[in-house]
């Protein structure tokens, strides 16, 4: 199985985030939401709800874990034929290979307003908040 190039995956992730209509929702009550949905779960960091055009992300995990989770859920949308182990592997590989601007772009979608405000005060440069 060939490794997918991060540059190509990032273009698809970005396009899906910007043009698909999906809303990224940060929540502290992900487990309860997941129980109400038709999905089974284990340690849930996030899930995609295509019928609602929403991607739910657990706000209780770190920002970079949220980015990996966002990538993971978007890969389910982009590559529905991929198995869960492949989505898991590719999301981690994609995260590892992101450039600084790509990471910053994705971090924007998974940070709350107070987190963004605080991070921008601390990091007055244009680097991502790692």
- Low-confidence winner among 23-32, 39-48, 64-73 (lowest mean pLDDT): 39-48
Residue 76 maps to a domain: yes
Phi-psi region of 102 (alpha: psi -120 to 50; beta: other; left: phi over 0): alpha
pLDDT in tens, 68-122: 999 999 999 999 999 999 999 999 999 999 999 999 999 999 999 999 888 887 7
Residue 54 maps to a domain: yes
Residue 33 maps to a domain: yes
Tell which wins on pLDDT, 31 or 81: 81
3-state SS, 24-83, equals EEEECCHHHHHHHCCCCCCCCCEEEEHHHCEEEEECCCCHHHHHHHHHHHHHHHHCCCCC
Residue 105 maps to a domain: yes
CATH assignment of the domain containing 15: 3.30.2010
Q: How far apart are CA 130 and CA 100, in angstroms?
A: 10
Residue 1 maps to a domain: no
Tell me which residue range forms the domain holding 52: 6-122
Residue 129 maps to a domain: no
Residue 127 maps to a domain: no
What is the number of structural domains in the chain? 1
Residue 61 maps to a domain: yes
């Amino acid at each position: 199985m060939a490794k997918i190039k991060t540059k190509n995956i990032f273009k698809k992730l970005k396009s899906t985030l910007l043009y698909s209509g999906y809303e990224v929702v940060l929540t502290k009550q992900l487990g309860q939401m997941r129980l109400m949905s038709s999905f089974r779960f284990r340690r849930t960091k996030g899930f995609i709800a295509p019928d609602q055009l929403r991607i739910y992300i657990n706000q209780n995990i770190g920002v970079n874990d949220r980015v990996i989770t966002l990538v993971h859920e978007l890969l389910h949308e982009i590559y529905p034929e991929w198995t869960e182990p492949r989505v898991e592997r590719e999301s981690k590989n994609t995260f590892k290979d992101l450039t600084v601007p790509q990471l910053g772009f994705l971090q924007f979608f998974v940070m709350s307003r107070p987190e963004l405000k605080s991070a921008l005060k601390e990091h007055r440069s244009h680097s991502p908040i790692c």
